[in-house]
Amino acid sequence: MKYYRLLWLKHDLPAGLSVFFVALPLCLGIALASGAPLYSGILSGIIGGLVVSLISGSSLSVSGPAAGLTTLVSASIISLGDYKIFLLAVMVAGLFQLLLGLLKLGSIANYFPSSVIKGMLAAIGIILMSKQIPLAIGYDQPDFWTSGFLRLFSDENFLGNFKNFNLHIRRGAILITIISLATLILLQRPWAKKLRVVPAPLLVVILGIVVNYLLTHLNSDFSLKPNQLVNIPSNIFADISFPDFSKLFSNTEIWKDGLIIGLLATLETLLCVEAVDKLDKHNRITPVNRELIAQGIGNMTCGLLGAIPMTAVVVRGAANADAGGRTKFSAFTHGVFLLLAVALIPFLLRMIPYASLAGILLITGYNLTKPKLFRNMWGLGWKQFFPFILTIIVILATDLLIGVTIGLLISIYFIVLNNFRVEYKVTKTKQHQTEVHLIRLNSNVTFLNKVNLRKTLDSIAPYSVLTIDGSDCNFIDYDILEIISEFETKAHDRHIEVHLQGIEKVNVSALH
């Protein structure tokens, strides 16, 4: 016990504090981007730290609200029309994850093509960035993307429109955003490693508070309005919303949204723990089914207590590993610090400018959709790039579910197309004026090969010899056996001599 106490004091306590400084601005920013109450983001981080960390088998991953869910959460809150009803969808998402874990379906992420997942995350990054622009420039009207920004180009009076647009932005917000972006970009440079004593998101928040304090103290026109600062209630526990269980079966959208959130949260979590496991110096591997059970219980708790859904998050996990975290108690410690922050210093949180959070989220969104990602996907060839770019376009044009579904269908099309070509090989020779054909079946021949195989058999000329060799096969679908057996039965009418090797004939007489 003494060993673990020393381990916590030496490694997990400082790591937990470091993760807290990274997580606090992200919790606020992601709640803001999701259109949810700001306290719900911090609550999600607290539950991720205090509940999920204890159940999870991961030593380094840290859970909390995730940028990858913002688009879906925002759309769901709007479509359901009531945050209390949305919380029911969060509980359904948690239940779905719990069932996946109990049924040992943690390998579900392996069934989603990498190109589609990358396309989904890139589209989320684009949407996340676009949603931060009004906050980043301090635009005080709700119509930035409808009539605000687009009105600049709506008629020939560009200067008049620009002047009107200019009245609704805040130069102090633009200044804070520029300082935030410059700080985050500079601290990502290799030469700035020695300057990273304070986590970059925390430094951005501190700079934003200081800049706005100076502008206000100097009575500058650049100073921010009260509604451009974080609005956290003095006692968040008094303002918590709870789910309205009476509406659970009144709206099928609750269950649909819950399943989609659960699936996306599962994919993001599984991708995250895989990435964080690679950072573990002790080479520990996270049990994925146990992780899904932990996430499921965590999200059910989030829904019950009024928080937005969570996942394991790469940024927090990487910060934990970089800070020297050793066990899951570093994640637990970060949860304790989040709880203490909202309980003891809400007045400090209310000094944070939205522009600072917008700067952090602009970089977060950019990291999800870097130009380098597009170049890499293009370099992998058309079969990878096309599902990737189509997923992005369809998500931006419609919604996340339709985009991912279309991307999956395109990926499956390429798999089927490729499968047609590789599962058997045809060679043709001539012996004494007689055509000799050899069809060698490869490892697994499925019903997907039916059409091409039937065409190949139909093209065999009369008065020839055909050998079908399945001795190297691990699996031959019954549909394929049926086609081969049916062909052999009728081959004598065309004077074709058929030899089967390693292929079991099936009874086709019952078909007639």
Query: Tens digit of pLDDT per residue, the chain (512 long)?
Result: 666 677 778 888 888 988 998 899 989 999 988 999 989 999 999 999 999 999 999 999 999 998 889 889 999 999 999 999 999 999 999 999 999 999 998 887 777 788 888 888 888 889 888 888 988 998 877 777 777 777 777 766 767 777 777 777 888 999 999 999 999 999 888 777 777 677 788 889 999 999 999 999 988 888 888 888 888 877 777 778 899 999 888 889 999 999 999 999 998 898 888 888 888 888 888 999 999 999 999 999 999 999 999 999 888 888 888 788 889 999 999 999 999 998 888 888 889 999 999 998 898 889 888 999 999 999 988 888 999 999 999 988 887 778 888 988 888 887 776 655 556 777 888 887 788 888 888 777 777 777 778 888 888 888 899 999 888 888 888 888 888 888 888 888 888 999 888 888 777 554 44
pLDDT for 512 equals 44
**Residue 212 in tokens:** 């706005």
Q: How many CB atoms lie within 10 A of CB 311?
A: 31
What is the Cα–Cα distance from 95 to 266, expressed in whole angstroms? 12
pLDDT for 160 equals 72
Which class for 208: exposed (0-12), middle (13-18), buried (19 or more C-beta within 10 A)?
A: buried
> 């007689």: which residue's tokens?
434
What is the Cα–Cα distance from 2 to 10, expressed in whole angstroms? 12
pLDDT for 511 equals 46
**Contact indicator for 224, 356 with CB cutoff of 8 Å:** no
Residues 293/294/300/301 CA torsion (nearest 10 deg):
160
What is the Cα–Cα distance from 191 to 418, expressed in whole angstroms? 46
DSSP 8-state symbol, 109: G
pLDDT for 3 equals 65
Pick from 413, 142, 91: nearest CA to 262: 91
What is the Cα–Cα distance from 228 to 281, expressed in whole angstroms? 42
Question: DSSP of 456-510, one letter per residue?
Answer: HHHTSPSS-EEEEE-TT-SEE-HHHHHHHHHHHHHHGGGT-EEEEES------GG
**Residue 374 in tokens:** 């597009």
pLDDT for 421 equals 56
Question: DSSP of 400-462, one letter per residue?
Answer: HHHHHHHHHHHHHHHHHHHHHHHSEEEEEEEETTEEEEEEEE-SEE-GGGHHHHHHHHHTSPS
Q: Where are the beta strands (DSSP E) in 48-95?
A: 62-64
Q: How many CB atoms lie within 10 A of CB 192?
A: 13
Provide the CATH number for the domain formed by 423-511 in this structure.
Answer: 3.30.750.24
Residues 492/498/504/509 CA torsion (nearest 10 deg):
-10
Q: What b/e string do you get for 257-288 counting C-beta neighbours within 10 Å, with b at 16 or more?
A: bbbbbbbbbbbbbbbbbbebbeebeeeeebeb
Calculate Rg over the CA atoms of the chain.
29
What is the Cα–Cα distance from 425 to 467, expressed in whole angstroms? 12
pLDDT for 112 equals 78
Return residue ranges of the chain for CATH 3.30.750.24: 423-511
Q: What pTM did the predictor assign?
A: 0.76
What is the Cα–Cα distance from 31 to 50, expressed in whole angstroms? 19
Pick from 132, 126, 41: nearest CA to 90: 41
Q: Who contacts 18 (Cβ-Cβ below 8 Å, separation ≥6)? A: 199, 319, 320, 322, 323
What is the Cα–Cα distance from 169 to 178, expressed in whole angstroms? 14
Which class for 26: exposed (0-12), middle (13-18), buried (19 or more C-beta within 10 A)?
A: buried
